[in-house]
């Protein structure tokens, strides 16, 4: 079973990420951020995860 997480930005608390935009792997939190190219996953370890 793949765990799904929602996450919010720990710095601003104003940006929420949906489960399809967050994954955890290799000791990092990866997000598919709308500010970057579509389909590009970036590392953002300053997120608070909720399951």
Q: What is the pLDDT tens value at each position of the chain, 51 positions in all?
A: 566 778 888 776 678 888 888 889 899 988 887 777 777 888 988 888 887
Closest CA to 46 of 19, 18, 20, 17: 17
- Residue 29 within a domain: yes
pLDDT score recorded for residue 21: 87
- Residue 1 within a domain: no
Number of domains in the chain: 1
Task: Give the range of the structural domain holding residue 45, as residue numbers without chain letter.
Answer: 6-50
Helices (H) and strands (E) in the chain, counts: 0, 6
- Residue 24 within a domain: yes
pLDDT score recorded for residue 47: 87
Token pair listed for 23: 């994954």
Q: Which 3 state secondary structure label does DSSP give 30?
A: strand
- Residue 18 within a domain: yes
């Amino acid at each position: 079973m793949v765990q799904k997480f929602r996450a919010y930005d720990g710095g601003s608390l104003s940006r929420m990420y949906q489960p399809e935009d967050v994954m955890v792997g290799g000791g990092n939190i990866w997000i598919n951020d709308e500010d970057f190219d579509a389909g590009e996953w970036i590392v953002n370890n300053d997120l608070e995860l909720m399951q």
